[in-house]
Amino acid sequence: MREVPTRDDALALDAADPLAAFAAEFEPAPDVVAYLDGNSLGRPVAGTAEEMARFVREDWGTRLIRSWDEGWMGWPEQVGDLVGRAALGAAPGQTVVADSTTVLLYKVLRALVDHQLALDPARTELVLDTDNFPTDRYVAEGVAAERGLRLVWIDVDPAAGVTPEQVADAVGPATGVVLLSHVAYRSGWVADAEGITGVVHEAGGLVLWDTCHSAGSVPVRADDWGWDAAVGCDYKYLNGGPGAPAHAYLTARLHDVPTLRQPVQGWMGRRDPFLMEQGYVPAPGERSLVSGTPPVVGMVPVARGAGMLERAGIEQVRDKSLRLTDLALAVVDSWPDELGVVVASPRDRDRRGGHVTLRHPAFAEVNPRLWARGVIPDFRSPDGLRLGPAPLSTRFVELWDGLAVVREELAAATSLSG
């Protein structure tokens, strides 16, 4: 007999939750019963609208262009350091916030590829997995075409993710760069980032980690794990808002290396940009990853979200995340077999990230009905429903209530289709 978690069980989990107070620090959404899409777009931190208004009135409106000298110019590094210590396990001076995820991914990947080719022209292979996020795959295809590289694909189980053993089989003397996601966007699989990095380094390659689904969700120890570089978005678990500027991490050991240059050589990434001198000379350190004018307006919410994460602590966030997904799995496991729902995410807590994916042929038609009832997960083709409870904003009872609606709508769809 399956144990069925009750709503009272969920309320008890909320009562014992050390992070419970953070839920009140987000803007309310009165028509939402359960927001289960924090792994796609985080909720706005309460007071962000007022802070944005203050920024417009004062920093921009009153100080005008003087604000560049009074602080804005250093925001890519300052906000980057905040994201680095709150979400990436990175010491200061290695992380910037600038550009979109796609643009930063291109810049860092091209820089690593060119560096490897300069050191050894035989390193012409770019390794990635078949279930990596589309942007990663598309950017890799473009860089490979530009630089005459061969793409080496690791075929992975979409319900799991890439393993050190698979990477070991794929890398070798021709490996230049390996591009992988720390947490798989579809299944939520947490890769053994330290182990994989070691495997790639042993083969003479470098690794670029995508942290879109791990930053702010699971602990990252970029420095301790010997990471080379990472790129990720700040609008999911860091609550930076739609289109928020992304973050890029580059280990200090690769700073100021003549053969490692990002390809978009804009004036804000140049040493002494206001001298307007002829020729591009990269700024020292992580500032060299910057290209154009820093998106300071977009950094205002990023800083608020990352600051909240730092207050909560990533270890406590991870603990609650696991308890939330434990509850989700227990509820789904209690559903009758006749519903036909398949869990397409790891059950092993060490390998499970911040979201859980369920599979059913009816989810494409069910998801719009869920949204209409104020229950908001997201759908991933062909048949996946992702449940992404964000630990700082999602209550256990909210998750329980949302899953109750999912079951109702799925039962209705199954009955209609039968």
Greatest extent of the chain over all pairs of C-alpha atoms, in Å: 75
Any bridge partners for residue 186, and if so which? none
Q: What is the DSSP letter of 42?
A: P
Respond yes or no: is residue 378 known to be catalytic. no
**Is residue 215 within 8 Å of 88, Cβ to Cβ?**
yes
Q: How far is CA 392 from the centre of its chain?
A: 16
> CA–CA separation, 127 vs 135, rounded Å?
15
Burial class for 79, CB neighbours closer than 10 Å (0-12, 13-18, 19+): buried
Annotation says 107 is catalytic: no
CA atoms within 13 A on the CB side of 211: 34
Contact 42, 238 (CB under 8 A): yes
In angstroms, the Cα distances linking 248 to 136, 230, 341 are 14, 6, 37
Tell me whether the omega of the peptide bond preceding residue 295 falls within 30 degrees of 0, making it cis.
no
404: closest CA among 312, 302, 328, 294? 328
Catalytic annotation present for 249: no
Name the token pair of 319. Answer: 């603990």
The answer to whether residue 386 is catalytic is yes
The C-alpha atoms of residue 279 and residue 346 are separated, in whole angstroms, by 51
Catalytic position from the list 107, 110, 261, 386: 386
Catalytic residue among 55, 133, 138, 379: 133
Q: Are 199 and 170 in contact (CB under 8 A)?
A: no
Residue 120 vs residues 142, 201, 259: alpha-carbon distances, Å = 21, 15, 11
Instruction: For 56, list phi and psi in degrees, rounded to 5.
Output: -65, -45
Give helix 7-15 / helix 396-417 axis angle, nearest 10°. Answer: 160
Residue 236 annotated among the catalytic residues of the structure: yes
Q: Where are the beta strands (DSSP E) in 164-293?
A: 175-181, 206-210, 229-232, 247-250
Annotated active-site residue in 110, 236, 318, 359: 236
Nearest to 237 by CA among 223, 229, 227, 247: 247
Active-site residue identified among 81, 210, 228, 378: 210
Please, which residues have CB within 8 angstroms of residue 201's CB and are 6 or more apart in sequence? 207, 226
Which of 22, 26, 185, 235 is labelled catalytic? 235
Could you list the active site residues?
133, 210, 235-236, 386
